[in-house]
Amino acid sequence: MKEEEIWTISEVTESQQIKNISYELLAWGSPLAKELGVPLSAVVFGNNLSEEELRELIYRGADRVYKISHKYLFPFIVENHSNILDFLIKKFQPQIVIAGATTQGRTLMPHLSVKLGTGLTADCTDLKIEKDTGLLLQIRPAIGGNIMATIKTPERKPQMATVRPKSKKMLLRDENKKGRIISIEIDDALFDRKVIHMGFQKNEKEEIDFSTADIIVSGGRGLKRKENLTLIRELAKQLEAAVGASREVVDRGWISYPHQVGLSGKTVNPKAYLAIGISGAIQHLAGIKTSETIIAINNDPLADIFKIADFGIVGDLFEIVPLLKKKLEEKRKTNEI
Contact with another protein (CB under 8 A): which of 188, 253, 302, 337? 253
Print the binding letters for residues 169-188 with another protein: x by CB under 8 A, - otherwise. --------------------
Counting contacts by CB under 8 A, is residue 250 touching another protein?
A: yes
Residue 18 lies near another protein (rule: CB under 8 A): no
Residue 110: CB minimum distance to another protein, A: 4
152 makes contact with another protein (CB under 8 A)? yes
Choose one: 26-34, 62-70, 221-229, 253-261; the region binding another protein (CB under 8 A). 253-261
User: Least CB distance from residue 70 to another protein, whole Å?
Assistant: 19
Backbone φ and ψ of 196, nearest 5°:
-110, 125
CA distance 124 to 112: 17
Of 64 and 259, nearer to another protein (C-beta) is 259
Nearest of 280, 230, 288 to residue 254 by alpha carbon: 230
What CA–CA distance (Å, rounded) separates 26 from 41? 8
For position 234 contacting another protein by CB under 8 A, the verdict is no
Q: Is 47 in the site for another protein (CB under 8 A)?
A: no
**Residue 1 in the binding site for another protein (CB under 8 A):** no
Q: Tell me the pairing of strands 136-142 and 126-129.
A: antiparallel
Residues 6 or more apart whose Cβ sits within 8 Å of residue 225 = none
By CB under 8 A, residue 315 contacts another protein = yes
Q: Which helix (H) or strand (E) holds 129?
A: strand 126-129
DSSP for 156-178, written as a single string: SSSEEEEE-TTSSPPPPP-TT--
Q: Does 103 bind another protein (CB under 8 A)?
A: yes
The answer to the question of residue 127 lying near another protein (CB under 8 A) is no
Residue type, 245: A
By CB under 8 A, is residue 129 in contact with another protein? no
* 35-43, 55-63, 169-177, 252-260 -> range binding another protein (CB under 8 A): 252-260
Dihedral sign, Cα of residue 119, residue 123, residue 126, residue 127: positive
Please report whether residue 225 would count as binding another protein according to CB under 8 A. no
What is the rounded distance in angstroms from the CA atom of residue 112 to the CA atom of residue 195? Answer: 17
- Our finding on whether 155 is near another protein (CB under 8 A) is yes
Q: Is residue 237 a contact residue for another protein (CB under 8 A)?
A: no
Using CB under 8 A, which of 175, 201, 206, 302 touches another protein? 201
| CB-nearer residue toward another protein: 58 or 317 | 317
Nearest distance in Å: CB 53, another protein: 18
User: Element (H or E) spanning 133, and its range?
Assistant: none
Q: Side-chain half-sphere of 226: how many Cα atoms within 13 Å? A: 7
Told to check if 17 binds another protein by CB under 8 A, we report: no
- Nearest 5°: the CA angle 105, 106, 109 is 70
Nearer to another protein, 39 or 119 (CB): 119
Question: Using CB under 8 A, which of 31, 34, 51, 114 touches another protein?
Answer: 114
135, 175 in Cβ contact below 8 A?
no
Whether cis (ω within 30° of 0) applies to the bond prior to 75 is yes
DSSP of 16-73: SPBPHHHHHHHHHHHHHHHHHT--EEEEEEESS--HHHHHHHHHTT-SEEEEEE-GGG
In DSSP terms, which residues pair with 127 in a beta bridge?
138
In the region spanning residues 80 to 99, those forming contacts with another protein, defined by CB under 8 A, are: 82
Between 30 and 125, name the residue whose CB sits nearer to another protein: 125
Closest distance of CB 162 from another protein, Å:
9
What is the x/- site pattern for another protein, positions 52-81, by CB under 8 A? -----------------------x--xx--
289, 308 Cβ separation under 8 angstroms: yes
Does 257 sit near another protein (CB under 8 A)?
Answer: yes
- Whether the ω angle into residue 301 lies within 30 degrees of 0, i.e. cis, is no
